[in-house]
Structure 1
Amino acid sequence: MQLKLLPLGTSSAIPNSTRCQSSLALLLPSTTTLLFDCGESTQRQLHRFRTSIKRTRIHKIFITHLHGDHIFGLCPLLLNIIEGNGGLVGATDPRLAGTTEKQKKRKETEPDVEIFGPVGIRAFVRANLRGTYAVLDGWIRINELHPAPSPDGTLPDPAHDVYVRELPGRNILPTHDSCWTDILTTPEYTVSAGPIVHSCPSVGYVIQLAPQKQTIPPTYKDTLLEFSDHFKSVGIKQPLSLLRDVQAGWEPREDVPKEVVSEEGIHLPNGRVLPRLGMKRGRKITILGDTCDPSPLTEIARGSDVLVHEATNAFLPDLDTSLKATDTYEVIEHRTISRGHSTPEMAGRFAARIELGQTGGLEDDEEKGVLVLNHFSSRYEDDMADGEDGRSMKVMTAIRECAVKAWKEAVEKEGREWKGRVECARDGVEVVVK
């Protein structure tokens, strides 16, 4: 079952002719879509790439920090998803009365869109909606990640000053090592979060997919067919129906003799047993906001299969004409860190630090971990901006190679074998993870 990342905006600070501001959609196998950040052009990008993603499937939005290039598209998108507009604000407006057809079908305890973000996201959304006289045709809920209570031990009341069609959210406090674990739990996935270092409070999110049943090996089918006559002789009319009895969650069936299927698996006439298949752990995805040091969430991100890490600036002496004669990698890294950002080498080293892809979550033995570089300086245009052999392709290839080299060296230094993939995010180009 494939997992897909769809970058909607991959530029830092300001857009350029080929990259929009920050936004990333995570498309889960069930078609559930989680949205991370919402730069000003997110709504436009959703229309451009509507064959890959539908706005009606976005019910959870996660904001990493409150810089404008990550949130200025949030309220317009809310109005798009929930079909809100300006208009009458009073008893005559059916949206306020809760009498529209859509509202009648939904419960007031169930938000159409739920938002998670740092302290301040609640005030930002409310101010934008009030300032534009927006009226929603559904419900929102806003949850804030608080590093600690106020000095007097209190937290703001989420129900105070709620906006029209807003359900009170949660004030979420750290649960372990300054991280917010299990801020959202569903049957399909669990989301945790952790603080990362930037020029303002910034957050990274860790998504753990639920365990899944293992795929039945083809040899199981072949074996059952080989002993088909035996199984029919003991009352199993369709021997291949026994395949369900090796999956996780097995329960005895009255029409299957205990001598044929037990807790161990399927018993063959030659004395062998086709063993029962256990559950395999779900994939783990870490998506970081802007950062020059994501180490505070190292432990909750450890063992991820996918890491999305910013790579705002790179040292490319043969390609970057903006470099000064005195610039070295160390100078560029220091300058980048001073602004709260990272280089591709820093991303590669963090991938090694969290043991990206080292826990066997991906099925392809040739691919152990996927590092997705994101949030590029606006001077770096899309790979294909000037063709396959153009300068932009050479620049992005070099940025990718910087991360590969740093990640590989760090892994091999620890005596481990490096098997991974590095992708440079491109607006509208899916990154597929097996």
Structure 2
Amino acid sequence: MDFVFLGTGAGVPAKSRNVSSIALQLLEERGAVWLFDCGEATQHQIMKTPVKPRKIEKIFITHLHGDHIYGLPGLISSRSFQGGTEELAVYGPKGIADFIKVSLSVSGTHLKYPLKVVEIEQGVVFDDGQFTVTALPLDHGIYSVGYRIEESDRPGSLLIEKLLQDGVAPGPHFKELKNGETVTLDDGRVLNGKDYIGKPQKGRIISILGDTRTCENARVLASHADYLVHEATFSASEAEMAHEYFHSTTAQAACTAKQANARHLILTHISSRYTADDVLQLAEESREIFPETIVAEDTMMVKIPLYNGS
């Protein structure tokens, strides 16, 4: 599991930052990629990264401002020409279905794969037993949601060293024991697979927020998240402007991460007013409150490791 940041800017494209889109690569977990938002030129950004459009199985839209959806028609269309044949599901607030339908209709676009569009409100929007995705409304100028992605716990690893110490040779019994089965060895010993399985690996929790002011639902979505991706359109000194435009500052994002007991914070949706030198200061403003902070850059990849135990 890893993030690939395709666009980390706010409002309009800039030379160093495109508008919003994040790929969550779940290649080992399910051989797929999930996108969160799809701003203008997202498919151009994808070409600069290892992300494969045909692997995109779900797109989660946070809200219907143009810098978060204008790349959607092009990507949906191009996916047909890039080997995509499996169903694509798009989740987003009310209005996303009309936006996609009209865009594809007036352009005469014909898809070679099934397209499912799900208009969401709040609560669990997807659950297949492996991943649960929950959406809650945030505080923005239009209806905007944040998403919480929870991975189910994984069974522990087979304790191979313990088996070898107990005189169990590698072979079919290893697979049976890993499945938790009880096996009888050639020497008559009976082994319970549960005795040879390590501690479960806790599923990861990811929180990706849409545009928002500071609000309680942001903290709920980010509670004990391994990674919180939070907009930081403005610097800490511009809290009044952030409030006026329904956005957040670096310090506000850091406070949310701290209050939610998140492990890591990634700042994105950075205003084009800030230069590369300014971004260093933005990171420091957040780290003063929440040390485990980084500022996302376009095409940056962040690995999301597994954690052992509870």
Relative to the length of structure 2, the TM-score reads 0.89
Judging changes above 3 Å, is the alpha-carbon distance between structure 1 residues 401 and 216 closer, same or farther for their aligned structure 2 residues? farther
Q: Which amino acid aligns with 1:265?
A: D
Give me the whole-angstrom Cα distance separating, in 2, the residues matched to 1:44 and 1:256: 60
- Corresponding residue of 2:74: 76
- Corresponding residue of 1:353: 259
Judging changes above 3 Å, is the alpha-carbon distance between structure 1 residues 198 and 256 closer, same or farther for their aligned structure 2 residues? farther
- Corresponding residue of 2:91: 116
Judging changes above 3 Å, is the alpha-carbon distance between structure 1 residues 43 and 239 closer, same or farther for their aligned structure 2 residues? closer
**Backbone CA RMSD of aligned residues:** 2.5
- Corresponding residue of 2:155: 213
**Structure 1: unaligned runs, 5 residues or longer:** 85-101, 147-178, 267-275, 316-328, 357-368, 382-391, 409-420
Judging changes above 3 Å, is the alpha-carbon distance between structure 1 residues 224 and 138 closer, same or farther for their aligned structure 2 residues? closer
Q: Percent identity between the aligned chains? A: 30
Mapping of 1:128-167 within 5 angstroms?
128-146=103-121
How far apart are residue 263 of structure 1 and its match? 6.3
Q: Say if 2:301 is the partner of 1:371.
A: no
How far apart are residue 257 of structure 1 and its match? 7.1
Give me the whole-angstrom Cα distance separating, in 2, the residues matched to 1:257 and 1:401: 64
Deviations, residues 158-214 of structure 1 (Å, cap 9, x unaligned): xxxxxxxxxxxxxxxxxxxxx412x11234312111111111100101111122122
Mapping of 1:178-327 within 5 angstroms?
179-181=122-124, 183-216=125-158, 221=161, 223-227=162-166, 231=167, 236=168, 238=169, 244=175, 247=178, 249-255=179-185, 259-262=189-192, 265=195, 276-315=197-236
How far apart are residue 253 of structure 1 and its match? 2.3
- Corresponding residue of 2:308: none
1:16 counterpart SS class:
coil
- Corresponding residue of 2:247: 341
Q: Which is richer in strand? A: 2
Give me the whole-angstrom Cα distance separating, in 2, the residues matched to 1:38 and 1:340: 20
Task: Tell whether the 8 Å contact from 1:199 to 1:340 is kept in structure 2 after alignment.
Answer: yes
Judging changes above 3 Å, is the alpha-carbon distance between structure 1 residues 256 and 377 closer, same or farther for their aligned structure 2 residues? farther
How far apart are residue 342 of structure 1 and its match? 0.5
Give me the whole-angstrom Cα distance separating, in 2, the residues matched to 1:351 and 1:215: 31
Deviations, residues 307-364 of structure 1 (Å, cap 9, x unaligned): 000000114xxxxxxxxxxxxx3xx1011111011111111111122211xxxxxxxx
- Corresponding residue of 2:25: 27
2:230 counterpart SS class:
strand
Judging changes above 3 Å, is the alpha-carbon distance between structure 1 residues 143 and 239 closer, same or farther for their aligned structure 2 residues? closer
Task: Tell whether the 8 Å contact from 1:245 to 1:261 is kept in structure 2 after alignment.
Answer: no
Deviations, residues 89-112 of structure 1 (Å, cap 9, x unaligned): xxxxxxxxxxxxx99xx7xxxx62
Give me the whole-angstrom Cα distance separating, in 2, the residues matched to 1:207 and 1:240: 37
**Structure 2: unaligned runs, 5 residues or longer:** 306-310
Give me the whole-angstrom Cα distance separating, in 2, the residues matched to 1:294 and 1:432: 28
Q: Which amino acid aligns with 1:400?
A: A
- Corresponding residue of 1:127: 102
Judging changes above 3 Å, is the alpha-carbon distance between structure 1 residues 376 and 240 closer, same or farther for their aligned structure 2 residues? same
- Corresponding residue of 1:42: 42
Task: Tell whether the 8 Å contact from 2:222 to 2:257 is kept in structure 1 after alignment.
Answer: no
Task: Tell whether the 8 Å contact from 1:246 to 1:277 is kept in structure 2 after alignment.
Answer: no
Task: Tell whether the 8 Å contact from 2:146 to 2:221 is kept in structure 1 after alignment.
Answer: no
Asked which structure has the greater CA Rg, the reply is: 1
Q: Which amino acid aligns with 1:33?
A: V
Give me the whole-angstrom Cα distance separating, in 2, the residues matched to 1:240 and 1:399: 55
How far apart are residue 281 of structure 1 and its match? 2.3
Relative to the length of structure 1, the TM-score reads 0.65
Task: Tell whether the 8 Å contact from 1:63 to 1:118 is kept in structure 2 after alignment.
Answer: yes
Give me the whole-angstrom Cα distance separating, in 1, the residues matched to 2:224 and 2:54: 32
Task: Tell whether the 8 Å contact from 1:400 to 1:423 is kept in structure 2 after alignment.
Answer: yes
Q: Say if 2:15 is the partner of 1:17.
A: yes
Q: Which amino acid aligns with 1:180?
A: G
Give me the whole-angstrom Cα distance separating, in 2, the residues matched to 1:303 and 1:239: 39
Aligned residue pair count: 303
Judging changes above 3 Å, is the alpha-carbon distance between structure 1 residues 430 and 261 closer, same or farther for their aligned structure 2 residues? same
Task: Tell whether the 8 Å contact from 2:9 to 2:269 is kept in structure 1 after alignment.
Answer: yes
How far apart are residue 264 of structure 1 and its match? 5.6
- Corresponding residue of 2:296: 425
1:334 counterpart SS class:
helix
How far apart are residue 226 of structure 1 and its match? 4.2
Judging changes above 3 Å, is the alpha-carbon distance between structure 1 residues 280 and 198 closer, same or farther for their aligned structure 2 residues? same
1:135 counterpart SS class:
coil
